[in-house]
A and B are shown apart, each in its own frame.
Chain A
Amino acid sequence: MTITPRLAWRNLWRYPRRTWLTVSAIAFSAMLLVFMITLQLGAYDMMIDTSLRVFTGEMQIQRQGYLDKPQMRASVPAAQASAARLRQATGLQAIAVRANGFALASSGTRSYGVPVIGVEPAFEPRVSTLPRLIKHGRYLSGDSAQEAVLGAALARNLKLGVGGELTLLGSGRDGSVAATVLSVVGIFDSGNPELDRHVVEIPLRTFQDVFSMGEEAHAIVIAGPGMEQIKQTEARIAALLPAGQGLVLLDWEKLLPGIKQMIQADMVQNWFTYIILIVVVTFSILNTFLMSVLERTREFGIMLALGATPWRLGGLVLLESVLLTLMGIVLGIVVGGGIAVYLHQHGFTFPGMKEIYAQFGLPGVIYPKLSFASFTLGPAVIFLFTAAAALYPALRIRKLNAVEAMHAV
């Protein structure tokens, strides 16, 4: 081994207390970042997963252009048969067909314009948590049942309860009048005001009859085997899409762009806080490095006199900073990672969190996301900042004059 690494290492331990304090500051911030980032990414995954599980699914097959302009005519032909083929080909059972329409929902003297969704009662519970969020009554019983379930807020507005009659009046795919009277069998409370205030679900076959859809529908909803495998699932489904029907496979980012935007905004906000923390730590480290260089001015003068170049001495100071930072970062990753691994297995929650989340059908426990990126991203930024901080004292050495430096006290 060359002498330079030994020299750098021993220089660090001239003042062990100062070194430990600096290492502790770096370790603490690295630990905090590892913990916060894993928790943050875990929370995002939970948010995405929960949002998708409530209704949207992880991906949908639709007619091209339907997402931007949802017209009745932009339908998926033979949707149930296609869904059955997909289930068979992929082995995924969480695939369900939906048809979407719009109608005036009336009860007594009250009427509201609402989206009406035709669902397959047998498969819908596999792609959506709404069927499990029925607070009164039950979910739809069969494809052709003359039944409806609706959101709690809508039920309140229409003054409807289980057993009440809901009249729907809209227009069918062919422009004909679509009208029916259905019995309310269940009322769901998802915690999502949009769904609770507007949505009416009815059996798919009933929908197709009322809205003159024939065998057609508007979406095949797929809830993949998990967020980690979403890309592989997407590739498999895309390969199975029938050609020439103008169908497209849309992932959750396209279906719910708001979630991604919200996550990005949250990330920016959190990183702003992290950067402030890192800058504070960086200044304390800069102070340590500066003191370390200033108190060794005489020694640097000797080395310059012996023939060392300022670049080499600058390199020595940088190496010291790298060693110091790496010690802190490794310590921080071990402690922060340990906490993250523990919480990944046991979940992170705080008193009252479960109860609040349960109202919205959410699990109420966050599991930190363990990945190479979540473990290393924060510490890597700390490393870059501290390396930049060490540049200043390293560059100061270039200005040293050997004779003057050797006379420094």
Chain B
Amino acid sequence: MEHTVLCRNVSKVYRQDTVAVQALTDVSLEIPRLDFVCLSGPSGSGKSTLLNLIGGLDRPTGGEIYVDGNRVDQMEKGALAELRLRRIGFVFQAYNLIPVLTARENVEFVMQLQGVAAGERTRKAREILKEVGLEDLENRRPGELSGGQQQRVAVARAIVSAPSLVLADEPTANLDSKTAENLMQLLRHMNREHGVTFIFSTHDKLVMEFSQRLITLRDGRIVDDVRRD
């Protein structure tokens, strides 16, 4: 089977002064293409750490991580930035849009980094904003949008450059249950329609219901891995 993500015996130790904190211990997992995976577990279980390591935002202390066959844990900074730019989309808990750019410009930003021509950028951004239901709000800045709308912009930004993997760290944490449900439906739609693998973390049971596969972490270890489809 073709894997989007492959982790082998990944561990991560954070050092705070003289104290070592074991965030992940010997984590191994394979995530096939087009999977819609939920990482669950209590706070401090290692969900965000694992997402950061897969996304190349942090380096593991041990083990190997592959994304689309590229060994992430040994990549140079520049190559990692390029990998994130071309192959990985991010959705963060706090939306994390650039406040001085409009919804459309936020979506275009990643494409500009990729070197997509201006006309093409605008066309694609409008298309994806229409798909997430924000076609009438493209010229609004984040401060003029609700939390749910901002998160939809963040999803549009993550998906617009056609990555093979989207990592979403507690994407519904700041949303009410109705908005969270709508967002999860949108992510599932993107997963199916755009052929993108999704890995998201949550401790919200409602959100977990949407996943194809539920991986549970506790104290930095995978304690359960259930396929639900």
Instruction: Write the residues of chain A forming the contact surface with B, with a CB cutoff of 8 angstroms.
Output: 1-4, 6-7, 10-11, 14, 298-299, 302-309, 312, 401-403, 406
Q: A11 vs B99: C-alpha distance in the bound complex, in angstroms?
A: 9
Q: A7 vs B108: C-alpha distance in the bound complex, in angstroms?
A: 12
Q: Which residues of the partner chain B approach A406 to less than 8 Å between Cβ atoms?
A: 92, 96
How many residue pairs bridge A and B at CB < 8 Å? Answer: 64
Give min CB distance, B162 to chain A, whole Å: 13
Interface pair A7/B110, CB less than 8 Å apart: no
Q: A252 vs B139: C-alpha distance in the bound complex, in angstroms?
A: 66
Identify the interface centre among B78, B96, B108, B110: most chain A CB within 10 Å of its CB: B96
Q: Which residues of the partner chain A approach B108 to less than 8 Å between Cβ atoms?
A: 3
Chain B contacts with A in 81-137, Cβ cutoff 8 A: 81-86, 90, 92, 96, 98-101, 105, 108-110, 112-114, 118
The count of chain B contact residues (Cβ–Cβ below 8 Å) is 27
Q: A11 vs B101: C-alpha distance in the bound complex, in angstroms?
A: 9
Interface pair B112/A3, CB less than 8 Å apart: yes
Give min CB distance, B219 to chain A, whole Å: 20
The closest CB in chain A to the CB of B158 belongs to A306
Interface pair A403/B113, CB less than 8 Å apart: no
Interface pair A302/B110, CB less than 8 Å apart: no
Q: Which residues of the partner chain B approach A4 to less than 8 Å between Cβ atoms?
A: 112
Q: Which secondary structure dominates chain B's binding surface?
A: helix
Q: Which 5 A-B pairs have the closest CB atoms?
A: A307-B85, A10-B100, A307-B84, A302-B96, A402-B57
Q: Which secondary structure dominates chain A's binding surface?
A: helix
> Can you list 10 residue pairs at the A/B interface with Cβ under 8 Å?
A1-B118, A3-B105, A3-B112, A4-B112, A7-B101, A11-B100, A307-B86, A309-B78, A403-B57, A406-B96
Interface pair A3/B101, CB less than 8 Å apart: yes
Give min CB distance, B179 to chain A, whole Å: 21
Give min CB distance, A7 to chain B, whole Å: 6
Q: Which residues of the partner chain A approach B99 to less than 8 Å between Cβ atoms?
A: 14, 299
Give min CB distance, B58 to chain A, whole Å: 5
B220 within 8 A of A: no
Interface pair A3/B96, CB less than 8 Å apart: no
Q: Which residues of the partner chain B approach A2 to less than 8 Å between Cβ atoms?
A: 112, 118
Give min CB distance, B70 to chain A, whole Å: 14
